[in-house]
Structure 1
Amino acid sequence: MDKVVASAADAVADIGDGASLAVGGFGMSGVPTVLIAALLEQGATDLETISNNLGVDGFGLGTLLAAGRIRRTIGSYVGNNKEFARQYLAGELELELTPQGTLAERLRAGGAGIPAFYTPAGVGTLVAEGGLPWRYASDGSVAVESPAKETREFDGVTYVLERALTPDFALVHAWKGDRHGNLVFRRAARNFNPDCAAAGRTTIAQVEHLVDPGEIDPDAVHTPGIHVHRVLHVPGVEKPVEFRTVR
């Protein structure tokens, strides 16, 4: 039951080329930076990531992106990452742009064993009707576009069918965790992390505070250990601030 690994390299050693990854975080909050850095060092390429965004230039998933290691991404936000926009518009990166709430629910559904669900978000737009540019060609034309999705009417309202996400791996950051993999997320860092942790077939968590089983109140657990396969202790991990606002 002890799921603690000795090093970040050990934690990500079996992530191979072409793997799909759900990665927690929102902007620079709750990002599993140590695991991402280890994956960068490990060398896996041709990756498909599922994350709200691809970090910022030089931070988090932005480092994998800059190294040319991400082939495709499913996300809801492109801003604040110039390399992300450049690669997408140049046809070097495939992007499945998804409404933010839909992305969260696709991950949550995957973790709950629900294969698909209906939602009103995106009805009447290219999200449902198809035609969103997933990948551009080098000449600026659209090489791959999103397909039309199934819609259905319930009580006079139209909904679109969205598929759940169950990636090969999930990388998450938690404030506290025990050796059995029970996790507690703190404040804004909770964001997409619990949904990613449940959705991944193999979930790897970096935790700031590692405690023994029984030290976390069961009522305080956000992600139970049954979803978590490896735990990496990262005391004192850097947590930068994306925007600093002063008067």
Structure 2
Amino acid sequence: MDKVISSPDAAVADVPDGATLAVGGFGLVGVPEILIDALLRQGAKELEVVSNNCGTDGFGLGVLLAEHRIRRTISSFIGANKEFARQFLAGELEVELTPQGTLAERLRAGGAGIPAFFTPAGVGTPVAEGGLPLRYDGAGGIAVATQPKETREFDGVAHVLERAIVADFALVHAWKGDRHGNLVYRRSARNFNPAAAASGRITIAQVEHLVEPGELDPEAIHTPGIHVHRVVPVGPVQVGIENRTVRA
């Protein structure tokens, strides 16, 4: 029952080349940056990453991206990372753009054992009709495009079929966690972390504060330990400022 791992490096040591990773975080908040840095040292490559955004330049998943360790991403926002945009447009990176709510539900459904679901989000757009670029050819053309998805009408409203996501590994950040893997997220750091944690076949959580079983209020637990396989205590983490604004 004790799921504590001695170090971040030990926790990610068995992530193989080509693995699919569901990664929590939104912007700079709730990002499992210490686990990501350990994965950078570990050397796994050709990764497929599922995350709201693929980090920023020099932070989070951005460090893996900079070393060309990511082959494909499923994301909803890519505008904060210049290297991401460069690789995508140059044909070096495959990107499946997904509406944000749909992405969250695809992860949640994967964790709940639901293989697919219908949603109205994306109906009447290339999300449902196909034609979105998955990969560019490096010369301004589209090398690989998305295919049309199944649509069906419910109560007079059109819906599109979306597949659930089950990842080989999930990397998440929690404020508190106990030795059994029960996790509590702090404020906005909750974001995609619960959904990502549920979707991983092997879920690894970096936690700021490790507590003993029974110390967490059962009513306050966001991710139950049944979803978590490894817990890595990392101490308090300082969150950066994504967009600094000052007065003239």
Would you call these one fold, judging by a TM-score over 0.5? yes
Query: 1:138 deviation in Å?
Result: 2.2
8 Å CA contact 2:88, 2:95 repeated in 1: yes
State TM-score, norm by structure 2: 0.98
CA shift digits 1:95-141 (9 cap, x unpaired): 00000000000000001110000000000000000000000112221
Q: Match for residue 34 of structure 1? A: 34
CA deviation after TM superposition for structure 1 residue 240, in Å: 1.3
- Offset from partner CA, 1:40-83 (integer Å, 9 cap, x none): 00000000000000111000000000000000000000111100
Work out the CA distance in 2 between the residues paired with 1:8 and 1:82.
28
What do residues 182-208 of structure 1 show as CA deviations (whole Å, max 9, x unaligned)? Answer: 000001100000000000110000000
Counterpart of 1:95 in structure 2: which amino acid?
V
Alignment of 1:84 with 2:84, yes or no, is yes
Q: Show the 5 A alignment for 1:112-127.
A: 112-127=112-127
Instruction: Quote the residue 1:138 is aligned against.
Output: 138
Instruction: In structure 2, list runs of 5 or more residues that go unmatched.
Output: none
Check conservation: 2:209, 2:236, Cα contact below 8 A. no
Residue equivalent to 1:199: 199
8 Å CA contact 2:2, 2:180 repeated in 1:
yes
Please name the residue that 1:48 is paired with.
48
Deviation string, structure 1 residues 145-183 (Cα, Å, up to 9, x no partner): 001000001111100000000010000000000000000
Q: Which residue of 2 aligns with 1:15?
A: 15
Q: Residues of 2 paired with 1:139 and 1:54: CA distance?
A: 23
Aligned residue in 2 for 1:212: 212
1:206 is paired with a residue whose SS is: strand
TM-score by length of 1: 0.99
Deviation (angstroms), 1:244 = 3.0
Instruction: Give the whole-Å Cα distance in 1 for the aligned partners of 2:212 and 2:196.
Output: 24
Residue 229 in structure 1 maps to residue 229 in structure 2: yes
Aligned AA for 1:122?
G
> How high is the sequence identity, in percent, across the aligned residues?
74
Q: Give, as a single letter, the amino acid of the residue that structure 2 aligns with 1:239.
A: V
* Distance in 2, Cα, partners of 1:118 & 1:75: 19
2:182 is equivalent to residue 186 of structure 1: no
In 2, the alpha carbon distance for the partners of 1:171 and 1:238 equals 18
Structure 2 residue 96 is the aligned partner of structure 1 residue 96? yes
Deviation of the 1:241 alpha carbon? 1.8
> How far apart in 2 are the matches of 1:140 and 1:129?
21
Give 5+ residue unaligned stretches, structure 1: none
Q: Secondary structure at the match of 2:149?
A: coil
Displacement, 1:242?
Answer: 1.0
Per-residue deviation, 1:25: 0.3
Task: Give secondary structure in 2 for the equivalent of 1:96.
Answer: strand
| Distance (Å, rounded) in 1 between the aligned partners of 2:246 and 2:129 | 44
Residue 239 of structure 1: how far off its partner (Å): 2.0
- Looking at structure 1, the residues matched to 13 and 77 of structure 2 have their Cα atoms a distance apart, in angstroms, of 29
AA aligned to 1:106 is R
Q: How far is the alpha carbon of 1:246 from its aligned partner?
A: 4.1
Q: Which amino acid aligns with 2:81?
A: N
Distance 2:12 2:229 in 1: 11
1:59 aligns to 2:59 (yes or no): yes
Once residues 237 and 123 of structure 1 are traced to their aligned partners in structure 2, the CA distance between those partners, rounded to angstroms, is 40
